[in-house]
């Protein structure tokens, strides 16, 4: 047998061994085939006989070849032929594999001048001095000798409990807190702990797609419940849902705040039917018009609310730190799941964040970024003012995005395509519904843009809407716009 190999890389022995393995696994050298003698292969490759002998011995030891005394070296019998190596045409997936469920809000990236889409959410960075200070606090400490408690670092849980009591009106102890790798992971952990396949879970309509997918992945049967200006329509709840997932501080995506009356009604519903409320305190830190309402869990007297929070929206998504405040019976289940999975936030991140919270740097950071986001919010409102008779800007009281509800006759998808052609990208409301939408509009994330970019993009959107209005019936009544 003649072998046409070319030794291009060093060490040359490794190169020859890799080429022989590939030839055997891809079926170019068939099981039982006899290989050239070490002398013959060395001469054809222009290398030493010792090098070829070393490679043959290595592949014999690995089971690719077998040496037969007095006969030569052969490809070992019984070896399977594997798929082609990288670079060759890819093999198709298994026939039984179901298509991957793409997120409804997933969108392809674009080169638009202004990108308002929710998929591009970024936050203002932590001040450099604070960032350095929090990590210096960690560097002065020796790391633990074990993985640490599954509920999280004690110092961080104490800092979180203190913050929630101070800022969210939630009376809790450090022992009530379980640290997680992000907010969505916190929702997933609770769902895994309490749900069985087929259990009914009520969700807001429209609602947060990532949370809905997480609940579905844990087997939940989702029951959409409408949202209005006061939040979740509690009167539409029946006794069938075992869990209700809500975002009362800044409803995602419409941005409304659940009223006190609705909160009381929801707590009464949970107590009456012995149900759970999963409160995702989304964007609670970033309020612009007055102080936020206390967390729903802070009003709970029956132990029916499981509280979920995250630092991703106000600090840095890359830190991947969230938390759950849960009653004792649920914490026991959560900790068992954490023990099994080994899912922990790295100790240095936990300890650095604990120092950041305890030092007051977190409160100063929130005040600073709140002022910056307020400027962008004002720029958006001003830029869209010319279209105030055609659309209503909502959800501006808090958070990093707003909802622009389009008036009758305006097609959110067609007009978004026009805006895209002019360099502005938005997110459509339609993908946030499970059923038929009862309104239409655009979601505008302004957190990662400058005030100038927000103003320019808003002006483009206003122009698109005004041009479309010339082909429509009379605009919305005066006083009902922005």
**CA distances, 210 to each of 27, 223, 377 (Å):** 45, 16, 25
| Same structural domain, 331 and 435 | no
| Residue 474 reports pLDDT greater than 70 | no
Residue ranges of alpha helices (H) inside 342-442 are 347-358, 361-383, 412-421
One-character DSSP codes across 57-79: HHHHHHTSEEEETTTEEEEPTTP
- Whether 7 maps to a domain, the answer reads no
| Same structural domain, 45 and 152 | no
Quote the CA–CA distance of 77 and 427 in Å, as a whole number. 59
| Same structural domain, 235 and 380 | no
Using the 3D structure, point to which of 348, 363, 378 is the last residue of a domain. Answer: 363
| Same structural domain, 274 and 336 | yes
pLDDT one-digit tens code per residue, 406-420:
998 899 999 999 999
At residue 479 the predicted structure's pLDDT band, cuts being 50, 70 and 90, is very low
| Same structural domain, 338 and 445 | no
- Whether 97 maps to a domain, the answer reads no
Quote the CA–CA distance of 2 and 171 in Å, as a whole number. 79
- Whether 3 maps to a domain, the answer reads no
Q: pTM, whole model, 2 decimals?
A: 0.78
| Same structural domain, 341 and 421 | no
| Residue 109 reports pLDDT greater than 80 | no
| Residue 122 reports pLDDT greater than 80 | no
- Whether 167 maps to a domain, the answer reads yes
At residue 205 the predicted structure's pLDDT band, cuts being 50, 70 and 90, is very high
* Enclosing H/E stretch for 400: none
| Residue 261 reports pLDDT greater than 90 | yes
- Whether 481 maps to a domain, the answer reads no
pLDDT at 83: 63
CATH assignment at residue 154: 3.40.640.10
The token duo for 124 is 């203002």
pLDDT one-digit tens code per residue, 427-445:
999 999 999 999 999 999 9
200-205 vs 243-246, strand pairing mode: parallel
Range of lowest pLDDT (6-15, 68-77, 318-327):
6-15
Instruction: Decide which of 447 and 155 is more confident.
Output: 155
**CA distances, 389 to each of 145, 406, 462, 475 (Å):** 63, 10, 10, 6
Bridge partners for 358 per DSSP: none
| Residue 228 reports pLDDT greater than 50 | yes
SS3 for 13-25 is: HHHHHHHHHHHHH
Local structure of 258: helix, strand or coil: coil
Average pLDDT in the 297-308 region? 92
The token duo for 193 is 């702990």
In the numeric block, the tokens 């809500």 are attached to: 246
Beta strands in 76-136 (DSSP E): 114-115
| Same structural domain, 170 and 309 | yes
Average pLDDT in the 60-85 region? 84
| Same structural domain, 37 and 167 | no
pLDDT one-digit tens code per residue, 140-179:
888 888 888 889 999 999 999 999 998 888 889 999 999 9
CATH assignment at residue 49: 1.10.10.10
Radius of gyration of the chain (CA): 30
| Residue 379 reports pLDDT greater than 80 | yes
The average confidence (pLDDT) of the chain is 87
pLDDT at 22: 85
| Residue 221 reports pLDDT greater than 70 | yes
- Whether 337 maps to a domain, the answer reads yes
- Whether 456 maps to a domain, the answer reads yes
pLDDT at 19: 87
Structural domain count, the chain: 3
| Same structural domain, 357 and 389 | no
Angle between helices 209-217 and 183-194 (to 10 degrees): 30
| Residue 225 reports pLDDT greater than 90 | yes
The proportion of the chain whose per-residue pLDDT surpasses 70, expressed as a percent, equals 90
According to DSSP, residue 422 is labeled T
CATH assignment at residue 412: 3.90.1150.10
| Same structural domain, 191 and 334 | yes
Task: Write out the residue range of the structural domain in which residue 332 sits.
Answer: 128-363
In the numeric block, the tokens 């947060």 are attached to: 208
Average pLDDT in the 396-401 region? 85
* Enclosing H/E stretch for 217: helix 209-217
| Same structural domain, 353 and 435 | no
In the numeric block, the tokens 């900790």 are attached to: 335
**C-beta separation of 323 from 290 below 8 A:** no
- Whether 381 maps to a domain, the answer reads yes
Quote the CA–CA distance of 112 and 312 in Å, as a whole number. 25
| Same structural domain, 305 and 401 | no
Quote the CA–CA distance of 404 and 386 in Å, as a whole number. 13
At residue 84 the predicted structure's pLDDT band, cuts being 50, 70 and 90, is low
């Amino acid at each position: 047998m003649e072998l046409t190999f070319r030794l291009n890389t060093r060490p040359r022995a490794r190169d020859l061994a890799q080429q022989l393995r590939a030839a055997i696994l891809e079926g170019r050298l068939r099981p039982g085939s006899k290989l050239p003698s070490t002398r013959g292969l060395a001469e054809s490759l222009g290398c030493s006989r010792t090098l070829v002998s070393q490679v043959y011995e290595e592949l014999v030891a690995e089971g690719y070849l077998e040496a037969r005394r007095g006969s030569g070296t052969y490809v070992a019998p019984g070896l399977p032929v594997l798929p082609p190596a990288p670079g060759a045409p890819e093999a198709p997936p298994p026939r039984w594999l179901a298509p991957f469920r793409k997120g409804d809000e997933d969108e392809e990236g674009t080169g638009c001048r202004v990108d308002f889409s929710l998929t591009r959410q970024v936050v203002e960075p932590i001040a450099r001095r604070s960032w350095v200070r929090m990590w210096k606090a960690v560097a002065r400490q020796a790391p633990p000798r074990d993985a640490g408690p599954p509920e999280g670092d004690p110092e961080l849980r104490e800092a979180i409990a203190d913050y929630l009591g101070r800022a969210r009106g939630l009376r809790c102890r450090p022992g009530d807190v379980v640290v997680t790798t992000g907010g969505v992971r916190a929702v997933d952990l609770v769902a895994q702990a309490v749900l069985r396949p087929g259990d009914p879970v009520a969700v807001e309509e429209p609602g947060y797609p990532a949370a809905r997918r997480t609940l579905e992945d844990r087997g939940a049967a989702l029951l959409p419940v409408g949202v209005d200006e006061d939040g979740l329509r509690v009167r539409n709840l029946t006794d069938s849902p075992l869990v209700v997932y809500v975002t009362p501080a800044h409803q995602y995506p419409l941005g409304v705040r659940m009223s006190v009356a609705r909160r009381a009604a929801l707590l009464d519903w949970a107590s009456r039917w012995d149900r759970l409320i999963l409160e995702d305190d989304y964007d609670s830190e970033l309020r612009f018009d007055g102080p936020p309402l206390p967390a729903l869990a802070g009003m709970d007297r029956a132990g029916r609310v499981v509280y979920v929070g995250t630092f991703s929206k106000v600090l840095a998504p890359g830190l991947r730190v969230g938390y759950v405040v849960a009653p004792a019976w649920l914490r026991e289940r959560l900790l068992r799941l954490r023990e099994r999975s080994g899912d922990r936030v790295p100790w240095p991140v936990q300890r650095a964040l604990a120092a950041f919270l305890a030092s007051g740097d977190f409160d100063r950071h929130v005040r600073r970024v709140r002022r910056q986001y307020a400027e962008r919010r004002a720029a958006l409102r001003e830029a869209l003012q010319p279209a105030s008779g055609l659309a209503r800007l909502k959800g501006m009281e808090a958070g990093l995005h707003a909802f622009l509800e389009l008036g009758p006759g305006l097609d959110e998808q067609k007009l978004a395509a026009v805006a895209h052609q002019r360099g502005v990208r938005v997110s459509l409301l339609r993908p946030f519904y499970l059923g038929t939408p009862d309104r239409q509009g655009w979601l505008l994330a302004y957190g990662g843009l400058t005030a100038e970019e927000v103003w320019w993009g808003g002006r483009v959107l206003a122009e698109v809407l005004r041009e479309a209005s010339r082909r429509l019936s009379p605009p919305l009544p005066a006083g009902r716009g922005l």
